[in-house]
Structure 1
Amino acid sequence: MASKIEVKDLLEAGVHFGHLTRKWNPNMAPYIYMERNGIHVINLYKTVAKLEEANEALKKIASSGRKILFVATKKQAKDIVADKVSKVNMPYITERWPGGMLTNFVTIRKAVKKMASIDRMKKDGTFNTLSKKERLQVDRLRAKLEKNLGSIADMTRLPGAIFIVDTMREHIAVKEAQKLNIPIFAMVDTNSDPRDIDYAIPSNDDAGKSIEIILEEVTKAVAEGLEERKSEKSNGKEEEKEAPKAENAPKKGTKADDLTKIEGIGPKAAEALVESGIVSFSDLAKADTEDIKSVLTEASSTLAHLDPTSWPKQAKMAADGEWDELKEWQDKVKGGVE
């Protein structure tokens, strides 16, 4: 486990600098330490606590095999995000947010596949049969797609979570993630509304040094989750060799009770289900949809609007070890809703 971030490090990076007091959002009051020279100062002790909470959740999502989409289109954050996130092999958006990126994911995937088809044309020689003008047009289209969507080429399904730098600027991304019940992690400054965010990290989202130190910690947690998943997979292979007869059982290298593998279930929903006694895919497969809905409603008002209709169906496939079929089904639907 990586060493915890110190308040002193955040202070040196300027994470505590907020916006002018007249531009503040009153909902950020719990995270503000004081006001100095007309500028709000963020309470870094709360930043550390929230960062640790977010990192723990991100680590869980990464270890479950789900992708985490990072979004930062502001100039001072673009290069930092691209550099840090590419190292942990996660998708990111640093150019303009494509409208419908999440809510109309099928169309976005078609655009990504267009890039692959152009690459195939160049390999099989079809590209050379085009006229000079057509080749130029295809090259321009390929370059445009690469610039806007190249970094999400490997994201074949909706992400397990989304991490945002500056929720005011990326408000469309926030709305889309909310609509599909995708957990939102974000750096929130004193002018932002933390109520829209599942895991808000109070911090300066304008300074490069501040963005860099937060992203460094976040990507470390993601890397730990990926490493954990890798070691579990290798352990699973060893266990399968020892017990070759258990062909129909779920693979022991994966967490059989990791309910976030079901499309539509985030970390908070999974926690609520586990607390209610639904701790495995088999339990969820047998559960009544209305009972699941009641559990979610009782747990939190933010979970009450989730639609668990397809969860038992997905859980049945997971319990039977039909992971390929489950992935194929999840790729065809939006947010687990048929």
Structure 2
Amino acid sequence: MFQTNRSVVSEFFLTGFQGSHLLRNLLFLLFLLLFCITICGNLLIISLVFINNTLHTPMYFFISQLSISDIMLTTNVIPSMLHILLKNGATISLPGCITQIYFFCTSVSSECLLLTGMSYDRYVAICNPLRYTSIMTSLHCVKLILETWVVCFIVSVVVTITSSLLTFCGSNIIDHFFCDLMPLLEIACSDAFIVQLEMYVLSVALIIVPSVIIIDCYVYIIVAILRIPSSTGRQKAFSTCSSHLIVVSVFYWTLFSVYVFPTKGESSTMSKLLSLLYTMLTPLLNPIIYSLRNKDIKKAVQQTFT
């Protein structure tokens, strides 16, 4: 199963989470439950936004697109992780690994850009409420979403092509629960400078720049909220942004830790745990803290199912 000679590697062995048989079975049941909740919650959001006319607003349109991105991310990573847990490790072909990287890059980059778009939407709603309907028109929102997905697909194609040109001729063991670029580059025996440079450029474009935009938006939002005379008005305005801010903080903190400023000597277990935060926890929390506790969503659920 493990290839240690200098022959070209055609498949990889993903170790996943190592441990006793009982521990892996418990993790399997836990992750399966969370996976089912994540898929059902995000599908519910997409369906409600599509069916209910009262939810045809920019905010819920962005949230529905975020749910699509979350479903793409979890279905790309979690089922294979569950298989690895059951088998105590599993092999994946080189084309399968590259395919997983493609969908992973698409979903993560779209999540970054969508969260940025949502912060801009909240900025306009709070800082320019009288111009909100004229700025965040349906046509403008559709253009933003189309541009987001086009950029993500192009970025993923570029990453996939450069990754597929790498040569693997040593160990085929990837100490992770999915084919991620960082552990894949560690076992490449060809020059990976182009891919590494590409990752740094994309990290700036898709992680650092959006995070700066989000921080800038929230600085203006906080200033605008503090200017609201009534405490009730300030609390209501802040509650519309707090959920988004929590998810953004968790999501970008993990991305910065893994891809932008990885800690030297970081253990593989810590790297896997950080990866779990944005591949499983964030898609699970998004429909809960963004929408399922929202009065409009609760009303739409009642109207749909009663």
Q: What TM-score, normalized to structure 1?
A: 0.28
Instruction: Report which of the two has the higher share of helix.
Output: 2
User: Normalising to structure 2: TM-score of the pair?
Assistant: 0.30
Structure ranking higher in strand proportion:
1
